[in-house]
Structure formats: C-alpha cells, structure tokens
Amino acid sequence: MAIDFFKLAVEGVQGLHPYQPGKPIEELERELGLSDILKLASNENPMGPSTKVIDALHEPTIEMDLYPDGNGFILKKKLSENLGVSQSQITLGNGSNDVLDMIARAFLCAGREAIYSEYAFAVYPISVQAVGATAKVSKALPVDHEDNPYGHDLSAMQALITDKTSVIFIANPNNPTGTWLNAEELDSFIAGVPDDVVVVVDEAYFEYVTESDYPDTQQWLDKYPNLIVTRTFSKIHALAGLRVGYALSNEQIADLLNRVRQPFNVNTPALLAATAALDDQAHVETCRDINTKGVKFWRAACQYRGWDYIPTVGNFITIDFEQDAQPIYQTLLREGVIVRPIANYGLPNHLRITIGTPQQNQQCLDALDKVFVNG
C-alpha cells in the first residue's frame, strides 16, 4: 500500500489498543463445533430482562421506519420521575460507553489531562486517548491492602491533579476488580477536587451493590456541580444488546454532552425496553438477590480451593490463579465455558467470571475443577 494510513491517523488513535470484548458464543461454536456454550465473560445478567420489557418489544406499533425520538422523551420522563432529577439533567447514551465518550469529547483535548486508576475500566483510556488528551494513571491500592486490595487509591488520584486536569474517572464499583468506595471516602475525595475539574462516577453496577455505606451519588449533584454520574441498562436490567445508558449531571453539563451526542443515538426498541425495565423493580430485586447468593457461592468455592479472589460488590468475581491464566481460560473454552482473561488490564494471572444462575455457577466451577484435577 502506497499510503501508510496509520501515520495519517491522529496521534492518540495511532497509539490506541481496541477494546477487547468477551468471546461471543457464536465464535466459540464456529471454532470448536460446540453447542450449549455458557458465557460468563461480559458481566451480562443471566436472568435476562423483565417480562415487561419482552411485552413492550412485542408491541406491533414499534415504528422501525421512522427515526427514534432524538430526545428520548419517554425514557427521560420515567428516569426523572424515578430518580427525582429534572429531565434536563439527563443525557442518554448508546450504552454508558457512549456517555463516557461524550464526556471525553466535551471536556478533553490535546493539552488537557484525565485521571483514572490502574485496573480501571478499559474504556477510559480509549476515550481519553482518542481525543488527544493525556492519561494520568494512579497506582491502585496494593494487593495486600486490608480493606480494598486492587481498589482505587484516592490519595494517589488526588496527587495527580494539576492545573491541566479536566476529568477524573472513578468506577464504583470498578470493572474488572469489583472493588468499590464508600460514601464517606468518595464524598471527601470529591470535596477536595477543584470545582473546575469534572468528576465522573461510573456506576454501571450500582443496582447490584448491597453495602449500606455505598454512596447515593445522585443526591450529591446539587452539592457538586462538577459531578457526573453514569449508569446503564446493560447490567441488572439485562439490556446489553440494545445499548442504553445515561448520565446524570447539572443542567449545563447535560447541555454540553447533548451538543456532542450523535442525533438518534438511542434507538426506538431500546427506548421502549429501558422505559419498561424501570417499571419492574421486583425483577431488579430478584436479580440482585440471585447475584448476592452467587457471589457467596463463588467466595466459598474459592476459599475451599485456596484461590485468592478480589472482594467484589458487582456481578462478577475476579480470581487470582497465581499462574498464567491463559491456559486455564483455553481449557475452559474447550469445556464450553467462556470467562474473561484480563491480562490486558495488567492482571495476567486472573480470570474474571460473571456471576451466573446457581446452575451456571456450578457448571463453571465444575469446569474449573476439571482443569485443576487434570493439571
């Protein structure tokens, strides 16, 4: 090829590594000719969506020939009623990844800095680098930290703030570690951040968290005008395939995010499904309970086998096998079980396993046991 298009790309994009998703079931079926594959690789909800969502999607009146409502009025109205924020404080995204990207495009550019933690969610570096901004990555808390191993070290994050800092990303809980910050520590951190630095608290898993001192950050929006809270319908609401997420912020920030938002970024079925999902709190509670029991199951299984795991409040658990996890991952694939290697996060000995139904958890554990029995 006469032209090296890599050299034509903007500098940040040249250095990017694409996001590595979990292996799709169909891909493993094609590769190994297996059927009945169990995927616990992308922190999806094994319970599937509410029956209210299924009913809404069977509506004969879904207008596929027309553009969706670009303002997502029905969904914003329902969110605003449920959360007690005004519609003008909500920004809808094609998944919360889309919202994270809008934040980067609205507040970052070459010469500006963003801070996030080591082991933090992989989309932050992509969004930051793509707009040419500089990433400042704080060291995570040490592996042997008694409260929060692998967690965000807020003092280290604070120490990276300079007059070039524009955005700080905090995942609470974080993926892939499952670590989290309590209300007191997060509140005092945000209080110490300069008012002109945007703090993003990414709460993709917040509905799963049962800890009583987990923060209710949305209550802080008045107190901290520089706060953006992001959430998603991909996790407990089980709508990952439809792509809907949202940000809550002060009105001015929401106005800015909506300026960079692609028109019609959330499609019509997704708007209907997300709105219906909000009507089924009982389903959310059932999913949360099953997840909490699943976490207990995995904790006990790890303790019994002497596997170190990172304490988690999400719908996944990350286990340290104290050896290269890639061969374990490959053997599990041959058993028809897909989990997530996370060497790309700097954790080559760990595997992240999404909490499944009781039967799925047992199936995955049986496959792991086979790996260790067969050496």
Ligand X SMILES: Cc1ncc(COP(=O)(O)O)c(C=O)c1O
Distance CA 373, CA 299 (A): 20
Distances (CA, A) of 239 to 54, 142, 267, 300: 11, 35, 13, 30
Q: Which is nearer to ligand X, 229 or 290 (CB)?
A: 229
Of the two residues 125 and 245, which places its CB atom closer to ligand X in the complex?
A: 245
43: contact with ligand X by CB under 6 A = yes
Query: Binder to ligand X among 245, 269, 336, 356 (CB under 6 A)?
Result: 245
Tokens matching residue 153: 């070290």
Asked whether position 312 contacts ligand X by CB under 6 A, the answer is no
Largest alpha-carbon pair distance within the chain?
Answer: 61
Q: What whole-number distance in Å separates Cα of residue 64 and Cα of residue 264?
A: 13
Residue 244: CB minimum distance to ligand X, A: 7
Residues 6+ apart with CB under 8 A from 131: 12, 104, 105, 108, 109, 110
Q: φ and ψ at 137, to 5 degrees?
A: -105, 115
Residue among 12, 95, 269, 294 that touches ligand X (CB under 6 A):
95
Question: What minimum distance in Å lies between the beta carbon of 171 and ligand X?
Answer: 4
Residue whose beta carbon is closest to ligand X: 95
Among 45, 89, 91, 97, binds ligand X (CB under 6 A): 97
Residues numbered 194 to 233 that lie near ligand X (CB under 6 A) are: 202, 204, 232
Query: Which value, in Å, is the radius of gyration of the alpha carbons in the chain?
Result: 21
By CB under 6 A, residue 275 contacts ligand X:
no
CB of 273 to ligand X, least distance (A): 13
Closest CA to 156 of 181, 189, 128, 134: 189
Q: Does 175 bind ligand X (CB under 6 A)?
A: yes
> Which segment (48-56, 78-86, 91-99, 303-311) binds ligand X by CB under 6 A?
91-99
Q: How far is the CB of 205 from ligand X (least distance, A)?
A: 7
Give the separation between CA 204 and CA 173, rounded to whole angstroms.
8
Q: Is 144 exposed, middle or buried (0-12, 13-18, 19+ CB in 10 A)?
A: exposed
To the nearest whole angstrom, how small is the minimum distance from the Cβ of residue 91 to ligand X? 13
Residues sharing a CB contact under 8 Å with residue 298, sequence separation 6 or more, in sequence order: 309, 317, 353, 355, 361, 365
The answer to whether 124 and 97 have CB atoms below 8 angstroms apart is no
Q: Binding to ligand X by residue 177, rule CB under 6 A?
A: no
Q: Which of 96, 127, 138, 265 binds ligand X (CB under 6 A)?
A: 96
By CB under 6 A, tell whether 49 contacts ligand X. Answer: no
3-state secondary structure of 232: strand
Counting contacts by CB under 6 A, is residue 172 touching ligand X?
A: no
Residue 168's DSSP bridge partners are 115, 199
Site string for ligand X, 111-140 (x = CB under 6 A): ----------x-------------------
Minimum CB separation of residue 189 from ligand X in Å reads 18
Number of residues lying near ligand X (CB under 6 A): 13
Q: Which of 168, 171, 190, 290 binds ligand X (CB under 6 A)?
A: 171
Q: Which residues bind ligand X (CB under 6 A)?
A: 43, 95-97, 121, 171, 175, 202, 204, 232, 234, 240, 245
